[in-house]
Structure 1
């Protein structure tokens, strides 16, 4: 066997070994070692509708919210890392405050950093800068910017609206999350450079395309 063929074989074996290591749980939860990101956008009125009473900035403050950032999650092709540093480096108060326009809950900001941000391999400042850039990468369809009427849509209609607002976003790059009655989240898959990319496992967990979902208005 030639040296070039041997080198090619070693690369294939290394790739197979890496995949098996992920499947077996070894080599997981290593900061910076993942395949892509999921930007999860939460429909805030649905979240607030599940609260027994108004609470905090998101559901009890003066500003009504539409889609907010739930998180930017490092992902494997199958599964995802989490809590890659125990304990997580503590966030400064200004870092938390600086994200409240996108993630209107201090508890959510600190939770997402500890569970997902620590797996990015980035500092807290760089991670939150990336969260902001990822949010700017995705255009929210106009009908979801400031709705004042209660309406019903299908999961497929939500997906189509996002595709129309975001050229290059294919149906296998997005997932619509719901409970039994309401739209909860839209999840968009992104490369580490924030380009849209396919994500079969994430997409497969989407709501049934024809399911009718309530979209509560802003309040």
Structure 2
């Protein structure tokens, strides 16, 4: 039995069962991606983070890490989509991405909630996530702080805009955990070019004093 025959048979079964076959993200049912960059020191100071040894152990010094690459619509977003891929991401696959998403729990959760809606298989989705992260130049004045620093939300956004030609204020949003930097969210097309995202931008933090704690 050839691989082509198996694929044809699977596609026919999916059609009869009313389930979507795996698709390239260009034809998947969402409008764009949000790349969410989490500031790890803020997460690690939280009760949840203190239990995450992979990300927050005493020997870890992560700064910005990838929280996720999220399929997004102009309004709202899909989540936990039906997929022929397994729900669990095997460690043999996920460990190649621990440098940017430093726990298998995070990788698995992001696949189930967001990656399953991308139209991509697990490896293709994780490769897309790495490509999106590689697309971004992290501003040194934010990413390499050695003591706690205070910025406005606009200053953080402007640092990213300055170091990433083509990124505009309507394509980036800062989120806060109380008065600490939580995440920076950047909107990307399916081809990973910068693009505006009114709803994401509108929900951004607007505090005038955001603390950026240093990586240990």
Tell whether the structures are fold-level matches, with TM greater than 0.5.
yes
Q: CA deviation at 1:94?
A: 1.4
Aligned-partner Cα distance in 2 for 1:191–1:97: 27
Offset of 1:88 from its aligned partner?
5.7
Partner of 1:108: 106
Aligned partner of 1:201 among 181, 199, 202: 199
What's the RMSD between the two structures over aligned residues? 1.7
Deviation at residue 87 of structure 1 after TM alignment: 8.4
1:49 to 45, 54, 62: 45
Q: TM-score, normalised by structure 1?
A: 0.82
Compare 100-109 and 56-65 and name the one that shifted more: 56-65
CA displacement at 1:179 relative to structure 2 = 2.2
Task: Identify the residue that residue 35 of structure 1 maps to in structure 2.
Answer: 31
TM-fit CA distance, 1:206: 0.5
Q: Alignment partner for residue 124 of structure 1, among 122, 125, 129? A: 122
- Whole-angstrom CA distance in 1 between matches of 2:68 and 2:107: 8
> In the alignment, what sits opposite 1:76?
73
Cα offsets for 1:92-130 (capped at 9, x unmatched): 221111111000111000000000001000011110110
**Structure 2 CA distance for aligned equivalents of residues 130 and 50 of structure 1:** 29
Q: Is the 8 A contact 1:42 1:185 kept in 2?
A: yes
The 3 A distance-change label for structure 1 pair 87 and 111 is: farther
Shift of 1:46: 0.6
Task: Give the gaps of 5 or more residues in structure 1.
Answer: 1-29
Q: Is the 8 A contact 2:54 2:102 kept in 1?
A: yes
Match 2:170 to one of 145, 169, 172: 172
* Equivalent position to 1:137, from 135, 138, 146: 135
Distance (Å, rounded) in 1 between the aligned partners of 2:192 and 2:138: 16
Normalising by the residue count of structure 2, what TM-score does the alignment of the two structures yield? 0.83
Asked whether the 8 Å contact 1:88–1:114 carries over to 2, the reply is no
Which residue of structure 2 aligns with residue 13 of structure 1?
none
Structure 1 residue 151, shift from structure 2 partner: 1.1
Q: Deviations over 1:124-154 (max 9, x none)?
A: 1110110000000011001233221111111
How many residues are matched?
Answer: 189
Ranges in structure 2 where 5+ consecutive residues have no aligned partner = 1-21
Q: 2:90 aligns with which of 67, 77, 92?
A: 92
The CA distance in 2 between the partners of 1:125 and 1:180, in whole Å, is 35
Contact 1:178 1:184 in 2 (8 A): yes
Equivalent position of 1:162 in the other structure: 160
Aligned to 2:60: 63
> Does the CA contact (< 8 Å) of 1:74 and 1:80 recur in 2?
yes
